Structure 1
Amino acid sequence: MIDRRQLLMAGAATFMLPYALRAGGVRLDAAYVNGSVWTGVRGAPLASAFGTVGNRIAAVGKDQVAASTGPMTRVVDLGGAFVTPGIIDNHTHFLMGSQALSRVNLRQASTPAEFSRIIAEAAQEVGSGKWVEGGNWDEQLWGGELPHKDWIDAVTPNTPVAVARLDLHMWFLNSLALKLAGIDRNTPDPDGGVIIRDANGEPTGIVKDKAKDLVQRVIPEPSEAEIEATFRKGIEHGLSLGVTQVHIKALDWTSQNALRRMRAKGETDMRFSSFVPLQDWAKLDAIVREEGRGDDWVRWGGLKGLVDGSLGSGTALFKEPYSDMPENKGITFVDPADLREWVLAADKHNLHIAVHAIGDRANDMILDIYAEAEAVNGARDRRFLIEHAQHISPASIPRFAELGVVASVQPYHAVDDGRWAVKKIGKERLHGTYAFGSLLDAGVKVSFGSDWPVAPLDPRTGLQAAVLRQTIDGANPEGWLPDEKISIEAALEAYTVTNAYAGFQEDRFGMLAPGYVADFVVFADNLLTMDPAHLTEVEILRTIVDGTERYSSDT
């Protein structure tokens, strides 16, 4: 739920409406009636109607809407449908996800033979010399053996292949891709990266984290026009799922540059908040000083850093060794001294900072750096973000609340990783894993997202994962670590109210209240009362952004 400060903002936002409307002199442009409207306002009952003037909510409640409806008001009968504020996704790799819509998808490959067959078909389709990209493969579906270049070399002799594991922290390459990238037995592991080798020291085709950079630099870049067209496909996809805004947590500038070009041409239909590499804080600071932070269609001013890798790739940073790799405690993506320097400098310049941390040691490391930044640079409203916050020492959970750090989590990861996490870190260390309930109980701001394309962009899958915590293999029908389940209303708040807060937008987004921007989603069924087992089946009827319908199931 929102706090007292947010409630005061909701009331104050009414004064952004024209005085004549509040006095009854101006009529609604649109009235949405006969619905069940979850406004996101603490303690407010479901409303049956609301109305808009321009791009703003102007009235909420049956009587208020009726009093402001005039002969020119467009009346929309919701037919009992359920309405929520627009869904905000706190963590996407939006360009990569948009590209994945038309690239090879290995998510359903459950055997090495099927894995190889899909890649062979993709290689035949793209043609000789062109790269096969995409991925989303998961070695756990066939028992845990990592793919080897020998699986596909014979069927891809003239086609370089670089396909990502579903967590994006591990890539699989064929021999041609390794050759083009200059990776052989003599290539050293780069700092923050790993090249997997066989018993003879030869690369197997698996590269982890910063070792991917060796490959990335030789893959041809798409043109600006191709990137923008790809974004448009992703926007259409997102709107069909009720997503009205996404936060892009990028490790390069490609997305921000493309969005700035698109915004110069008009509205982008979906809203974007862009985060760029933390080490580039000075470049971003110069842009903010000269141009500001954009607008509510395309915003910037955020920075994304990384402490470690991922659990599935064995590169998340832990205090104790992995159960299945006793010699391994994970890696640091960058030198901790550099990370500290960048955070303190960026914070001094009032930039918004988000840092990826998966393992318990990684989370403690960035919490310590955030605490130091506050001590050095002075108290203010920072809203530091920890991206993923997946495996936290129970004793560290209260520190999130003490420091005002937002836990930017992705609930689908819990029901995906929950299939095999115990093999990686053992049963005892599962306490504090995907601890949504414990974080909320400790007073932490918990915001939700997808990590698309690592997980589906569809927020219905995230809502269901947070409420039921049933792993996708069906092995935990009562929920994996069920004490961490949360209510459907808490999950909706994490996708709306808290995500607006996490983006410093709680004065105009995340709720349906007078003065707030008219971003909302119309669902066919009441998410609060239905069986959560069927959440992913609920039809999305309309997606409205800035008061304009951007998606309709009727078209």
Structure 2
Amino acid sequence: MKTTLYVAERVRTLDAARPVAQALAVRGDKVLAVGSRAEVRAAAGPEAREVDLGAATLVPGLVDAHAHLAGLGLSLTTARLEGAASVQEVVRRLEAAPDTCFQGNWLLGKGWDQNAWPGQAFPGRAELDARFASTPVCLTRVDHHASWVNGEALRRAGITRETVDPEGGLIVRDAAGEPTGVLIDNAMDLVTAVLPEPTDAQRETRLRVALERCARVGLTGVHDAGMDRESFQTLRAWDEAGQLPLRVYAMAAGQGAQRHAYLEQGPHEGRLLTMRGVKLLADGALGSRGAALHEPYSDDAAQRGLLLLSPQELEARVRAFMARGFQVCIHAIGDRANTLVVEVLLQCAEETGTRGLRHRVEHAQILRREDIQRLGAAGLVASVQPTHATSDMGWAEARLGRERLAGAYAWRSLKDAGACLALGSDFPIENPDVLAGLYAARTRQDAAGQPEGGWWAHERLTAEEALEGFTVGPAWASFAEGRRGRLMPGMDADFVALSVDPVEGAARALLDARVLATVVAGVEVFRA
């Protein structure tokens, strides 16, 4: 087996016995040695290839613990609406969209956010109809919990003023009862049901560009939160052929009809592809007021959000997947959803004897203080996304009021309560840039350094805790703590070379830092 010696200014191992080293040797797909340059050269032998990374810092492989590969690929190949400051700007971007933004004859886009527009009101179909009268248009909100469509898309989906809101969904209507073109949560399915299927070539292209982006930003692995069967079969074929560049820990899509096939199949363990979890959704998102709250929204007293599955149906699905040996991972944003999810996970895990399956609360975003303690005491995984806090902090208090923010984005409180923190980005809702996640976890500030001192600064993580959240935490949350998360002899050779030290370096340095190399199972999948 080939041996490679990597030399850097420092190797940050996260091994308590030797936290900092100067060099690392890889033989095959495992770490052979970690230590001083002399020690590692001696272990590697005279035939080893040597790579001098200069002033770089090597860290264990960075893993995004909650992300969506197919969604990232779609967002990179359809009309990009992130950062659009108005409805008019959205329309201008759609007018300039290339042919790759079409699926069949539907024009697709992703990333609009009415919170960034004057008035912060939901858009309507009229603005789209004026430019796209006969072309169906479907635009996904930045949080993936709302769609904005035009009149032709409504017509093809058969949505009229007489259409009843589906359970767990909302068709936004004007004062006369006519659909405006905005569909919340389960109401989105009315349109996606008539959307043409992507071609096999489109699916493969989207997955490849997503994986390439991940390697470029320094990710050695991704926990895919709700993988569809088609993506799973494609990645499985690539893994078996030795063509999968990153580790993918997949959660089966447990919300729709595909769950039956996953239940029949059971968990899967490949070389770089594992499917051991299942993803369910309890509620919607805060930005579209779909997050399920105990009390009404502070800025809309008529809304308390949506439960996407009834408590009875959620419990039935949780119990079925636990009995089949799956780790259950449930999306919960609002405090009502989190109360429900913690109760269901604890009750069903006790009944099925599966507490050892390390069940997870995905997002764990807004919780009552008692639920933070219950989640932590039970040893559940809190899969949280630091950049959600820094993206939402400009409007979250308007949605929730000051009192509920005390249990929102509460990473320090969750960790102190005993939860395992696994950090991610929820890309493509946020950028997959893991360095931005490290910065947000440490500072709770935006790129301009605001607010001064950090937003609810007592919930910040230390620099080492942030790094552990993207390494040790995801490893434990995917049952891989004996193989990954630290750089020690015998561990998998997954690591990243960065231009800054993410622990001792200044937090602001992360904003301009560069990924110099990404190594997965001993293979360089990216080199700057």
TM range (shorter): over 0.9
Which residue of structure 2 aligns with residue 42 of structure 1?
16
Distance 1:84 1:473, change over 3 A: closer
Q: Does 2:340 correspond to 1:365?
A: yes
CA apart distance, 1:80: 2.4
Verify the 8 A CA contact 2:166 2:187 in the aligned structure 1: yes
State the Cα deviation string for residues 226-267 of structure 1 (Å, max 9, x = none): 211221111111100111111111263232122123223323
> Percent of aligned positions with the same letter in both sequences?
37
Other structure's SS at 2:321 match? helix
The one of 208, 225, 247 equivalent to 2:223 is: 247
Q: Which AA in structure 2 matches 1:30?
A: T
Number of residue pairs aligned between Structure 1 and Structure 2: 524
Verify the 8 A CA contact 1:120 1:152 in the aligned structure 2: no
Which residue of structure 2 aligns with residue 415 of structure 1?
390
Q: Does 2:248 correspond to 1:263?
A: no
State the Cα deviation string for residues 463-503 of structure 1 (Å, max 9, x = none): 11111111468652321111111111111101001101100
Q: Does 2:508 correspond to 1:530?
A: no
CA apart distance, 1:43: 5.5
Distance 1:513 1:28, change over 3 A: farther
Which residue of structure 2 aligns with residue 309 of structure 1?
284
Distance 1:460 1:61, change over 3 A: same
Verify the 8 A CA contact 1:123 1:132 in the aligned structure 2: no
Distance 1:472 1:198, change over 3 A: farther
Runs of 4 or more above 3 Å deviation: 123-129, 279-283, 471-475
Verify the 8 A CA contact 1:109 1:115 in the aligned structure 2: yes
Q: Describe how 1:497-512 pairs up with structure 2 within 5 A.
A: 497-512=472-487
CA apart distance, 1:210: 0.7
Paired with 2:42 and 2:15, the residues of 1 have a C-alpha distance of: 22
Q: Which AA in structure 1 matches 2:401?
A: G
The one of 156, 159, 163 equivalent to 1:183 is: 159
The one of 400, 410, 415 equivalent to 1:435 is: 410
CA apart distance, 1:317: 0.7
Verify the 8 A CA contact 1:521 1:544 in the aligned structure 2: yes
Which residue of structure 2 aligns with residue 283 of structure 1?
261
Paired with 2:372 and 2:90, the residues of 1 have a C-alpha distance of: 40
Verify the 8 A CA contact 2:284 2:292 in the aligned structure 1: yes
Other structure's SS at 2:466 match? helix
The one of 51, 55, 58 equivalent to 2:29 is: 55
Distance 1:125 1:386, change over 3 A: closer
Paired with 1:448 and 1:342, the residues of 2 have a C-alpha distance of: 25
Paired with 2:270 and 2:202, the residues of 1 have a C-alpha distance of: 24
Paired with 2:426 and 2:187, the residues of 1 have a C-alpha distance of: 21
Distance 1:33 1:410, change over 3 A: same
| TM-score, normalised with respect to structure 1 | 0.91
The one of 153, 157, 161 equivalent to 2:133 is: 157
Paired with 2:59 and 2:319, the residues of 1 have a C-alpha distance of: 38
The one of 288, 310, 316 equivalent to 1:341 is: 316
Which residue of structure 2 aligns with residue 235 of structure 1?
211
The one of 375, 379, 383 equivalent to 1:404 is: 379
Which residue of structure 1 aligns with residue 145 of structure 2?
169
Other structure's SS at 2:95 match? helix
Which residue of structure 1 aligns with residue 175 of structure 2?
199
Q: Which moved more, 1:536-545 or 1:121-130?
A: 121-130
Q: Which moved more, 1:95-104 or 1:257-266?
A: 257-266
Q: Which moved more, 1:525-534 or 1:400-409?
A: 525-534
Verify the 8 A CA contact 1:128 1:159 in the aligned structure 2: no
Q: Describe how 1:417-496 pairs up with structure 2 within 5 A.
A: 417-471=392-446, 475-496=450-471
Which residue of structure 1 aligns with residue 186 of structure 2?
210
Paired with 1:364 and 1:254, the residues of 2 have a C-alpha distance of: 33
Verify the 8 A CA contact 2:240 2:270 in the aligned structure 1: no
CA apart distance, 1:149: 0.9
The one of 242, 249, 258 equivalent to 1:273 is: 249
Verify the 8 A CA contact 2:143 2:287 in the aligned structure 1: yes
Other structure's SS at 2:97 match? helix
CA apart distance, 1:137: 0.9
CA apart distance, 1:124: 8.6
Q: Does 2:120 correspond to 1:144?
A: yes
CA apart distance, 1:201: 0.7
Which runs of 5 or more residues in structure 2 are unaligned?
A: none
| TM-score, normalised with respect to structure 2 | 0.95
Which residue of structure 2 aligns with residue 116 of structure 1?
91
Paired with 1:317 and 1:378, the residues of 2 have a C-alpha distance of: 29
State the Cα deviation string for residues 59-108 of structure 1 (Å, max 9, x = none): 11015313213221111212121011111111111111112112111112
State the Cα deviation string for residues 328-354 of structure 1 (Å, max 9, x = none): 111110111011111122212221110
Verify the 8 A CA contact 1:281 1:346 in the aligned structure 2: no
Paired with 2:143 and 2:336, the residues of 1 have a C-alpha distance of: 19
Other structure's SS at 1:483 match? helix
State the Cα deviation string for residues 291-333 of structure 1 (Å, max 9, x = none): x622231111311101110111111111111011112111110
Paired with 1:126 and 1:300, the residues of 2 have a C-alpha distance of: 30
CA apart distance, 1:283: 3.2
Other structure's SS at 1:477 match? coil
Verify the 8 A CA contact 1:123 1:156 in the aligned structure 2: no
Paired with 2:479 and 2:358, the residues of 1 have a C-alpha distance of: 8
CA apart distance, 1:128: 12
Paired with 2:416 and 2:489, the residues of 1 have a C-alpha distance of: 30
Paired with 2:263 and 2:95, the residues of 1 have a C-alpha distance of: 46
Paired with 1:43 and 1:98, the residues of 2 have a C-alpha distance of: 40
Which residue of structure 2 aligns with residue 300 of structure 1?
275
CA apart distance, 1:28: 7.7
Distance 1:148 1:43, change over 3 A: farther
CA apart distance, 1:399: 1.2
CA apart distance, 1:404: 1.5
Q: Which AA in structure 1 matches 2:423?
A: F
Distance 1:67 1:375, change over 3 A: same
Verify the 8 A CA contact 1:81 1:524 in the aligned structure 2: yes
Other structure's SS at 1:464 match? helix
Paired with 1:293 and 1:57, the residues of 2 have a C-alpha distance of: 25
Distance 1:526 1:365, change over 3 A: same
CA apart distance, 1:206: 0.1
Q: Which AA in structure 1 matches 2:388?
A: H
Other structure's SS at 1:427 match? helix
